[in-house]
Chain A
Amino acid sequence: DTGVSQNPRHKITKRGQNVTFRCDPISEHNRLYWYRQTLGQGPEFLTYFQNEAQLEKSRLLSDRFSAERPKGSFSTLEIQRTEQGDSAMYLCASSTPRGGFTDTQYFGPGTRLTVL
């Protein structure tokens, strides 16, 4: 069990550019979540996968955001035409379904995005 990993840890980009983040969950965890955390705030739910199926998307996830989990293992989060308001920490978490919706989510270290 190596924990949830996220890459890159930091990303600086110019407004209008596209960026992609990767999350590798704990092996055999079939549930994967993305959250966004802005400065001074708690994390906010963005989206959720069970295996490769994206089952829930927050209204925070505008059309410029897309998330995938093609083989039910790692996931990517892409932001197109970045805006300064996208600057935040993007957190990934994974869990197993043993406890249903009371299962423990294990978080990665996050990717900090800065849009100039």
Chain B
Amino acid sequence: AQSVTQLDSQVPVFEEAPVELRCNYSSSVSVYLFWYVQYPNQGLQLLLKYLSGSTLVKGINGFEAEFNKSQTSFHLRKPSVHISDTAEYFCAVSKEVQGAQKLVFGQGTRLTINP
């Protein structure tokens, strides 16, 4: 069965500092990985996704993630965070159901940016 583990439930960082949010997955088949962000009182927004090809994936808002098959990881990084990056971040793996996509999410990491 496919599953996702987000290793940190909360990550506090100072503004303009770098950040890494960790995600490990388990899957016995081809893996398609996603990072979503959820701002307070809003739905989820796609940050980036890995389907195939280059293992370094660039997304919106300056975020990037690296797919590492040997370590079964897909960590999210940003070199310099802003107050506006305060949000909940979810890693997800895609599972095919009836030709469409069922997302299996991790428990989330709450990123708090301190001034």
Binding site for B on A (CB under 8 A): 4, 31, 33, 35, 40-45, 48, 50, 55-56, 91, 93, 95, 97, 100-110
Residue from B9, B99, B103 in contact with A43 in the complex, judged by beta carbons closer than 8 Å: B103
Which of B13-21, B45-53, B61-69, B70-78 forms contacts with chain A?
Answer: B45-53
Chain B interface mostly helix, strand, loop or mixed? strand
Which residues of A have CB within 8 Å of B107?
A: 40-42
Q: Please, how many residues of chain B have a CB less than 8 angstroms from a CB on the other chain? A: 29
Inter-subunit contact A44/B105 (CB<8 Å): yes
Report how far A56 CA is from B95 CA in the complex, Å: 12
Q: A104 — nearest CB in chain B belongs to which residue?
A: B46
Residue from B97, B101, B104 in contact with A102 in the complex, judged by beta carbons closer than 8 Å: B101
Which residues of B have CB within 8 Å of A97?
A: 99-100
Residue from B95, B101, B108 in contact with A41 in the complex, judged by beta carbons closer than 8 Å: B108
Inter-subunit contact A91/B43 (CB<8 Å): yes
Report how far A73 CA is from B98 CA in the complex, Å: 19
Inter-subunit contact B98/A50 (CB<8 Å): yes
Inter-subunit contact A48/B103 (CB<8 Å): no
Q: B9 — nearest CB in chain A belongs to which residue?
A: A40
Which residues of A have CB within 8 Å of B105?
A: 42-44
Give the residues from 26 to 53 in chain B that come closer than 8 angstroms, CB to CB, to chain A.
32, 36, 41-46, 49, 51
Inter-subunit contact B43/A50 (CB<8 Å): no
